[in-house]
Amino acid sequence: SAVISQKPSRDICQRGTSLTIQCQVDSQVTMMFWYRQQPGQSLTLIATANQGSEATYESGFVIDKFPISRPNLTFSTLTVSNMSPEDSSIYLCSVPEGRGYGYTFGSGTRLTVV
Amino acid sequence: GQQVMQIPQYQHVQEGEDFTTYCNSSTTLSNIQWYKQRPGGHPVFLIQLVKSGEVKKQKRLTFQFGEAKKNSSLHITATQTTDVGTYFCAGDDYKLSFGAGTTVTVRA
């Protein structure tokens, strides 16, 4: 299965600032997914990142708030912009493993906004 | 879009006992996947079910997909402390829709 390196693992940020989260995959993948997991909650898909095209955002998430880059088939970034305490969550990237093998997740970025 | 409901939200189990967590979808699923997230960890893929009525086993874990492909269950027998964590089901329609998860704690 793919190995994903996600950075940073955690951060504490001031409100109004931005944080960029990186995911590096050890193999080329067409699609990468970004999720948010609020404390004690399930995972909510933010957007799908495809190389060479703009990310596709889910309802309730907008590009101005969560800009995504996908410069190549092994790397993606998610920026959380103009942060507020409500953005305090775990953010995870994920890649599909192919038919029958589910998805592999990065280790997550635990963000606290103060 | 897909909505996947999962119950119970919490399961407190005596070590050695069995328990089951259930998922229900508002729509027919092409497949359903199960993940386990240990405390402080990230979700880890357990299994995928594709066929109507499919049953798969992984040691003490038994996964079932309903005949209508709208529901699924995970049954764990003889619960151990290593089973602690949150179990999520997820419908896969080219992107995952996660259930709320069942958080399992074990009393030794």
Place of tokens 């080329």: A28
Q: Which residues of B touch A41 (CB under 8 A)?
A: 100
State residue B82 phi and psi, 5-degree precision. -70, -10
**Are the C-beta atoms of residues A50 and A33 closer than 8 Å to each other?**
no
Q: Which residues of B touch A108 (CB under 8 A)?
A: 42
Angular region, B67: left φ>0, alpha ψ -120 to 50, beta rest: alpha
pLDDT, tens digit, 9 for 90 and up, residues B53-97: 999 999 999 999 999 999 999 999 999 999 999 999 999 888 899
Angular region, B85: left φ>0, alpha ψ -120 to 50, beta rest: left
> What is the reported pLDDT for B31?
95
- When scoring A4, A35, A103, A104 by the number of chain B Cβ atoms within 10 A, the one with the most, hence best to mutate, is A103
Query: What is the distance between the alpha carbons of residues B18 and A47, in angstroms, rounded to a whole number?
Result: 37
Judge whether residue A48 has pLDDT over 70: yes
pLDDT, tens digit, 9 for 90 and up, residues B1-38: 678 999 999 999 999 999 999 999 989 999 999 999 99
Judge whether residue A68 has pLDDT over 90: yes
Q: Which residues of A touch B93 (CB under 8 A)?
A: none
Q: Which residues of A touch B47 (CB under 8 A)?
A: 102
By C-alpha distance, the chain B residue nearest A106 is B42
**Are the C-beta atoms of residues A5 and A108 closer than 8 Å to each other?**
no
Interface touch B44/A105, C-beta < 8 Å: yes
- B50 touching A, CB under 8 A? yes
- When scoring A29, A38, A43 by the number of chain B Cβ atoms within 10 A, the one with the most, hence best to mutate, is A43
pLDDT, tens digit, 9 for 90 and up, residues A13-39: 999 999 999 999 999 999 999 999 999
Place of tokens 């088939």: A73
> What is the reported pLDDT for B1?
63
